Amino acid sequence: MKLRIAVVAGDGIGPEIVTEALKVMETVCKRFGHLLSLDRRLAGGCAYDVFGQCLPDETLEACRSADAVLLGAVGGPRWDGLPGAERPERALLGLRAGLGLFCNLRPAKVWKALEGCSPLKETHTASGIDLLVVRELTGGIYFGEHRRSADGRAATDVMAYSAAEVERIARMAFDGAMGRRRKVTSVDKANVLETSRLWREIVDAVAHDYPEVELNHMYVDNAAMQLVRAPAQFDVLLTENMFGDILSDEASQITGSIGMLPSASMRADGFGMYEPIHGSAPDIAGKGVSNPLATILSVAMMLRHTFGLSAEADAVERAVGQALDDGFRTADIAGSGSAVSTAAMGRAVCDRIAR
């Protein structure tokens, strides 16, 4: 199979982690006989420096014509002074909207070898965390009207959802649950918000088409609490854009290592953009100490969700598990032990795929 991938390495540690993820990609292609074709493009602060805008048209076009996008991270203190509409984060929002990526998958699980990293270790509740946040990504308050009054003393952000927007993300969540433990927890604020009451109605209706899946509804404040109290209860967490942003950060932290978590932003046709959940970490950029595993695991998600190559995806995930079991740790997950470099971790994974 030919895998045509647009690569947007971005800012900060983006380039170094993407380098390792691409080595993994090459190793997989070699072992399984696939052809890799890469189209490298700029987005984020680095694009602003060259083009005067964070998301140049040519980048969006290149992403549109690829099969999938691999993204590192965007942003950094150098560009923090830019006005809201020009900031590097806008490149991310522009890619999501411009590519129609309404569904964001954020799996969070505890790797056996890393259980000790979780802040929940004292109560042992970290054991068994294996959940998937399905976050609506192109609607809600992120994309409603943002307005400031003429005198600058009042502001409004509109949260809006259509039934169709809720239905398509709900279907993605139930489909995802069918391949997992068949449980969906839909998170909303239906005791206050009208968008949440619509959300609940639609999710209930979609649930009728999935009789094997158990559905429950939870308010977002309770969900935030349950995530630290008893996180192993969750399989698929389905939620709207802003709640998903917040809960997925919380879910990532309870696994003990934000440097481990991949993500996928998808359309219904399988096209997707894949990136680590963490940011560009400008403070450690260029030192060769960042953890490439989140980006490597994003490549595994790409192989599975866009290309349907599950044996290849399993090979990558298994190799990551083995590298961890064999004691490889980058600084973020090393605790008081010794750490290996970004490149050494990438190599450890490649070696275990090639075997």
Catalytic residues: 142, 189, 221, 245, 249
Q: What backbone torsions phi and psi does residue 15 show, to the nearest 5 degrees?
A: -60, -40
Least distance (Å) between residue 92 CB and ligand IPM: 5
Residue 245 makes contact with Mg ion by CB under 5 A: yes
Nearest-angstrom CA–CA distance, 116 and 126:
9
Q: Within 71-110, which residues bind ligand IPM (CB under 6 A)?
A: 89, 92-93
Residue 5 makes contact with ligand IPM by CB under 6 A: no
Q: Within 257-296, which residues bind Mg ion (CB under 5 A)?
A: none
Q: Which is closer to Mg ion, CB of 245 or CB of 332? A: 245
Residue 245 makes contact with ligand IPM by CB under 6 A: yes
Q: Which is closer to ligand IPM, CB of 278 or CB of 347? A: 278
Of these partners, Mg ion, ligand IPM, none, which one is at the site of residue 92 (CB under 5 to 8 Å by kind)? ligand IPM
Least distance (Å) between residue 96 CB and ligand IPM: 8
CA-based nearest residue to 331, from 288, 282, 283: 288
Residue 332 makes contact with Mg ion by CB under 5 A: no
The full DSSP string for 173-192 is HHHHHHTTTSEEEEEE-TTT
Least distance (Å) between residue 352 CB and ligand IPM: 29
Residue 240 makes contact with Mg ion by CB under 5 A: no
Kindly indicate which of the ranges 13-21, 232-240, 241-249, 333-341 contains the residues binding Mg ion, using the contact rule CB under 5 A.
241-249
Least distance (Å) between residue 246 CB and Mg ion: 7
Q: Within 147-166, which residues bind Mg ion (CB under 5 A)?
A: none
Size of site (CB under 6 A) for ligand IPM: 4
Q: Which is closer to Mg ion, CB of 136 or CB of 245? A: 245
Least distance (Å) between residue 139 CB and ligand IPM: 12
Q: Which is closer to ligand IPM, CB of 89 or CB of 115? A: 89
Size of site (CB under 5 A) for Mg ion: 1
By CB atoms closer than 10 A (0-12, 13-18, 19+), residue 139 is buried
Least distance (Å) between residue 87 CB and ligand IPM: 9
Q: Which long-range contacts (CB under 8 A, 24 or more apart) does 319-328 make?
A: 319/24, 319/349, 319/350, 319/351, 319/352, 319/353, 320/111, 320/293, 320/296, 320/349, 321/111, 321/112, 321/113, 322/352, 323/348, 323/349, 323/352, 324/111, 324/113, 324/114, 325/112, 325/113
Residue 20 makes contact with Mg ion by CB under 5 A: no
Kindly indicate which of the ranges 25-33, 240-248, 294-302, 326-334 contains the residues binding Mg ion, using the contact rule CB under 5 A.
240-248
Q: Which is closer to ligand IPM, CB of 106 or CB of 352? A: 106
Nearest-angstrom CA–CA distance, 214 and 10:
40
Tokens of 20: 């390792």
Kindly indicate which of the ranges 53-61, 184-192, 194-202, 237-245 contains the residues binding Mg ion, using the contact rule CB under 5 A.
237-245
Least distance (Å) between residue 95 CB and ligand IPM: 11
Measuring CA to CA, how many Å separate 335 from each of 174, 201, 206, 320, 339? 37, 46, 44, 18, 9
Measuring CA to CA, how many Å separate 330 from each of 299, 344, 345? 19, 9, 7
Nearest-angstrom CA–CA distance, 230 and 58:
46
Residue 55 makes contact with ligand IPM by CB under 6 A: no
For the four alpha carbons of 117, 103, 350 and 314, in that order, the dihedral sign comes to positive
Helices (H), the chain: 14-32, 45-51, 57-65, 89-98, 163-178, 194-207, 220-229, 241-254, 293-305, 310-325, 331-334, 342-354
Residues that bind ligand IPM (CB under 6 A): 89, 92-93, 245
Residues that bind Mg ion (CB under 5 A): 245
